[in-house]
Structure 1
Amino acid sequence: MGIGYATAYRTGIIPWEKASRTGLPVLERLLDREEALRPDRIRRAIDLGCGRGAHTKLLLDRKWDAIGVDDVRQAVDTAVRRNGLDDARFVIGDVRHLVHSGVGTSFDLFLDVGCFQGLDAAGRTQMADGITELAQPDATVLVHAAAPQRWPRTSRGADRSDLEQAFRGWTVTEQVPEASDPDDAGTWFRLVLS
């Protein structure tokens, strides 16, 4: 998983960063709701597959106690420098092994902007099981994914059935397309523990 991404970061070919910015207005609305549901407590979040940390910084700016996780050291190093954040805000780790990555426990929110969709079925289940183990009872998972496509296959993509298959014990409560045609930009999914 990390070798292809490490090469992409080294060469500067990182189109997913531009794609993730198109979903920002929808993400902001989704985060508004999550914050309204937890007004009087410290809110803890993990940015899964954080890359260069833009969404981790967004969460921190919105007063979440946030940590980013990515398995590409160069991306994490850039996240620290680029965002002016303490390196304790980032963990070099594999999202398929969250429990043993040193991120802690008791998270309210798991943010995934394009990470789940790139994993195979076994990796998706491992990631979901780790999230379940680290989640507060009222936790939320927000996942942004492109629709599955046959060609060109730059990413596997993911849809509701993929999420329901991996996240046993969770319910998809919302599905928000970024555009009138979800195949154009992707879809946000909101999951809660059942």
Structure 2
Amino acid sequence: MTSLATRAVVNLLYKSPFNPTSSDEPDDAVRDLVEGAESLTPGRALDLGCGHGRHSIYLARNGWDVTGIDLVRDAVTTARRKARDAGVAPSLLQGDVTELGRMGIPEGNDLIVDAGCFHGLPARLRDVYVPEVTRIAASDARLLILGLAKHPVLKGIKLDEVRRRFRGWEVISAQSVAGDEMLRYGSGSPMLRKAFEKGWFDPWRYLLRRVDSSPRERG
């Protein structure tokens, strides 16, 4: 369970100049999974740390049964409004991504998107997150993680930790995301733009595939 201190930090970061105002455009890798040459068949999707709902709304528009979760109440409120305006109805919940079972999130999710959630969790919550996400993933599910390798406050996420923690998953790809691409997904202060342009945050994108349906191990 996320502590009150962690919740406070998340809410402060949400309102800080280092948190970009989200665009409505999906990440390129999400678009590839939905509309690319080897696109997935629409099924059940989970959007962890859904923010303003750009991925939840995009997936719902493309025939997916989507649940989006975010810890920040204001973010979920904005996501619900945007979904109504877009004419789609994903399930958008305020909640803790380390408590998926307690929230009643069903198993069998074919696509799980985490665009900026996992990289902010402390180690003790990562220990919970991994088995929870693994439990609700369908056989052959895809898990897309977009995270920063460096951050002045957050712990960050690097490939060696992804491989170590996500047992039962295969890393299909690990790609560095250029600053100019990151800036397409949101707008922020000149300081934030400079930070991305200079590579201070070092954003990466990891695509994993569920390959082991045996009893889950802890991450």
TM-score using structure 1 length: 0.81
Looking at structure 2, the residues matched to 117 and 141 of structure 1 have their Cα atoms a distance apart, in angstroms, of 14
> Which amino acid in 1 is paired with 2:47?
D
Match of 2:8 in 1: 3
Match of 1:74 in 2: 74
Alignment of 1:105-124 (within 5 A): 105-124=107-126
Alignment partner of 1:32 is 2:35: yes
TM-score using structure 2 length: 0.73
Match of 2:3 in 1: none
State the Cα deviation string for residues 34-61 of structure 1 (Å, max 9, x = none). 97243xxx41111001122121111112
| Contact 2:22/2:52 (8 A) holds in 1 | no
Percent of residue pairs identical: 29
Match of 1:49 in 2: 49
Match of 2:190 in 1: none
State the Cα deviation string for residues 56-109 of structure 1 (Å, max 9, x = none). 111112221111011222211221113316776112211111121122221001
1:2 Cα deviation after fit: 2.3
Change (3 A) 1:134 1:193: same
Unpaired runs of at least 5, structure 1: none
Pairing partner for 1:101 from 103, 118, 131: 103
Alignment partner of 1:15 is 2:19: yes
Greater Cα radius of gyration, structure 1 or 2: 2
Looking at structure 2, the residues matched to 90 and 59 of structure 1 have their Cα atoms a distance apart, in angstroms, of 13
1:139 Cα deviation after fit: 0.6
RMSD of the TM alignment (CA)? 2.9
Change (3 A) 1:146 1:7: closer
> Which amino acid in 2 is paired with 1:117?
H
Alignment of 1:104-183 (within 5 A): 104-149=106-151, 153-179=152-178
Higher relative contact order (CA 8 A, sep 6+): 2
Which protein has the bigger helix share?
1
